[in-house]
Chain A
Amino acid sequence: QIQLVQSGPELKKPGESVKISCKASGYTFTDYAMHWVKQVPGKGLKWMGWINTYTGKPTYADDFKGRFVFSLEASASTANLQISNLKNEDTANVFCAREQPGGFAYWGQGTLVTVSS
Chain B
Amino acid sequence: DIQMTQSPASLSASLGETVTIECLASEDIYSNLAWYQQKPGKSPQLLIYDASSLQDGVPSRFSGSESGTQYSLEINSLQSEDAATYFCQQHHDYPPTFGSGTKLEIK
Q: Residues of A with Cβ closer than 8 Å to B?
A: 35, 44-47, 59, 61-62, 95, 100-105, 107-110
Contact = CB atoms under 8 A, between A and B. Distances in A.
A44 B44 contact: no
Interface of B: 32, 34, 36, 42-46, 49-50, 53, 55, 87, 89, 91, 94-101
B21 to A, nearest CB: 14
A102 B43 contact: no
B98 A44 contact: yes
Query: DSSP class of A's interface residues: helix, strand, loop or mixed?
Result: strand
A108 B45 CA distance: 11
Nearest to A108: B43
Q: Which of B43, B53, B98 has the most CB of A within 10 A?
A: B43
Contacts of A102: 32, 34, 49-50, 53, 91
